[in-house]
Amino acid sequence: MGLIVNGGNAKSSSMEAIQAAKTGDFDGADAKLKEADAALSEAHNSQTSMLTKEASGDHVKVTLLMVHSQDHLMNAITFRDLAGEIVDLYRKLAKEGK
């Protein structure tokens, strides 16, 4: 569940970063991107723990929930990367508009 919860939090914070940048609040956008990074770090720690157990011979049963959690994390990472680019684009547009 750590992957799903933290992945969801990362995606939500990334979307909030885009919304903040859209209104010109780049400090807020940067803060939200940092929140997303922190959530992704927590998710990565959960994933690493599972991978370490698997590598040491403690095999985890692959369930639909496990597949869903990995998919959720992958989408959150992709969304975070894209959000960073969109924030940068809004920042560039704001500078050019002045």
Give the start-to-end residue ranges of the domains of the chain. 2-97
User: Could you tell me which residues come within 8 angstroms of residue 60 by beta carbon, excluding any fewer than 6 positions away?
Assistant: 50, 53, 54, 66
Q: How many CA atoms lie within 13 A of 36 on its CB side?
A: 26
Tell me: the pLDDT tens digits for 51-90? 898 899 998 888 999 899 999 999 999 999 999 999 999 9
Report pLDDT for 61. 84
Catalytic residues: 68
Report pLDDT for 81. 98
CATH of region 2-97, choose from 2.30.40.10, 1.10.10.410, 1.20.58.80, 3.40.1390.10: 1.20.58.80
